[in-house]
């Protein structure tokens, strides 16, 4: 009996030991520590372009900026500059261009016409100065005012000329030219045919240059003719001398004859 108990205990211990050893052999290996994957940095958003600020510090463009704000076209320009992939190109007249505008006048325009006129000063795309060489070969280019409101461009050896029909001007300086916004200064207000019609008055011919008053030189034929013309003025003095001399001779002759007659009698 005791032998059976001992055998049972030994067998139980051996079975327990085998179970523990098998469990350790089947246990999964400890996980290997892995370095965390770095999270990529978010892409930087493009800087917001404030057209009001750009036009305020440049210029003077106060009149054009006042029209932008009063017609609320500034909101359209800002949206085109900052919320589209194309960007914007703006042609800004100086204050003196508005002061020199007499006919046609902007005072008779309706609110919608005035808004279209200000929109007419922008293209719905960013253009660097070098891009106008290719743009000049494409004919009429539509502006932000719509398909009827077009401009023609000519690149003359790097100088960009604009023609609206009523206005012929050129880009005189680049105020700002960094994608997505280009701002260029022009000398005249752009007047579209879609508002003012196609009956464009002819450009007045330039006045002739004054003829310079050149006095003839002293040795010129004119001077000689004047000198020869003035020579007769000295003739009377010579004639007077001859007459006086002849008078003296006659008087002497008369005295001589008189003396001879007296001696004869």
DSSP 165-208: BS-EEEEEEEEEEETTEEEEEESS---BHHHH-S-PPPPPPPPP
In terms of Cβ atoms closer than 10 Å to its own Cβ (0-12, 13-18, 19+), residue 126 is buried
Q: Which residues contact 163 (CB under 8 A, 6 or more apart)?
A: 151, 152, 153, 154
Q: Which whole number is the average pLDDT over 190-219?
A: 70
Residue 174 near residue 184, CB atoms below 8 Å: yes
- Look over the chain and give the mean of its residue pLDDT values, rounded to a whole number: 78
Render pLDDT for 57-107 as a digit per residue (tens, 0 to 9): 987 899 999 999 999 999 999 999 999 999 999 999 999 999 988 778 898
Render pLDDT for 157-170 as a digit per residue (tens, 0 to 9): 999 999 999 999 99
Render pLDDT for 9-39 as a digit per residue (tens, 0 to 9): 666 656 665 655 555 555 555 555 566 666 6
Does pTM top 0.85 for this prediction? no
pLDDT of residue 60: 87
User: Cis before residue 70, ω within 30 degrees of 0?
Assistant: no
Residue 206 tokens, joined: 């330039």
């Amino acid at each position: 009996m005791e032998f059976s108990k001992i055998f049972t205990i030994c067998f139980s211990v051996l079975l327990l030991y085998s179970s523990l050893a098998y469990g350790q052999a089947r246990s999964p290996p400890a996980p290997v520590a892995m370095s965390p994957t770095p999270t990529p940095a978010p892409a930087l958003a493009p800087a917001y372009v404030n057209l009001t600020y750009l036009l305020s510090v440049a210029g003077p463009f106060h009149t054009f900026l006042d029209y932008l704000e009063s017609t609320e076209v500034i909101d359209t320009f800002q949206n085109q500059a900052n919320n589209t992939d194309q960007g914007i190109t703006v042609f800004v007249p100086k204050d003196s261009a508005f002061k020199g505008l007499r006919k046609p006048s902007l005072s008779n325009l309706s609110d919608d016409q005035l808004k279209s006129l200000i929109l007419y000063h922008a293209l719905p795309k960013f253009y660097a100065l070098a891009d106008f060489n290719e743009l000049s070969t494409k004919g009429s280019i539509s502006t932000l005012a719509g398909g009827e409101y077009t401009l023609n461009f000519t690149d003359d050896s790097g100088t960009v000329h604009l023609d609206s029909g009523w206005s012929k001007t050129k880009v005189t300086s680049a105020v700002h030219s960094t994608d997505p916004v280009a701002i260029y200064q022009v000398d005249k207000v752009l007047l579209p045919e879609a508002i003012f019609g196609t009956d464009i008055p002819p450009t007045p011919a330039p006045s002739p240059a004054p003829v310079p008053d050149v006095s003839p030189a002293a040795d010129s034929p004119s001077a000689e003719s004047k000198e020869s013309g003035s020579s007769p003025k000295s003739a009377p003095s010579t004639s007077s001398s001859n007459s006086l001399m002849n008078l003296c001779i006659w008087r002497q002759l008369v005295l001589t004859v008189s003396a001879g007659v007296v001696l004869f009698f």
